[in-house]
Structure 1
């Protein structure tokens, strides 16, 4: 299975900057099926990425319809057409406004995993759950 990549333009704002537009590569890789990557690249492409954030795919999926997340990444619905992703690094934070339709389109493409990826997800979840239960 090939990685899934969706290129969008988003609006970004920070407390000390009113905002601007930037290109974001939203990626889903078969070797990390529970995660999504946001690669922010002001000009040239993902190879020249200014920043990369990796977080749970489920956080993005849940945040489209209701506020989700309480750590470094928070996702919530905006107006009727937007979804807001707030990133909170060690210093400062920024708000990125995405078109909800673009995020839904990306998520729909990630749901059609071939059987080998679905099996890997089940195996990984089983391993993680067993690790947690052993420590309890």
Structure 2
């Protein structure tokens, strides 16, 4: 199941990027609605990165620093492709700032996972990840 989740999540991202931003949820306060949806960029591709890591962790002994970096780069490249995809829809927007937010979320998760798995930091996180 963990190996399928990243691909299902990528499909969900693709579908949601094809729809207007308020297709699923629109809060009554438009400023709050915009702020919340913009802040989701910080976690959207971080979640993809974490799902990719979890999928790799199901392959015992195969998760190395290189695979960790590959997961982060793949999530970042998918973020770039998502911004390009959104640029083709009049009711969506693509921006460099959105990419910065995407990369920031990925980088924060990368920091913690790298620290836990390869640098002896964040022992609690490492225990959780090792149970996968």
The TM-score with structure 1 as length reference comes to 0.31
Higher normalized helix content (fraction of residues): 2
Structure with the greater relative contact order (CA < 8 A, sep ≥ 6): 1 or 2? 2
**TM-score, L = length of structure 2:** 0.31
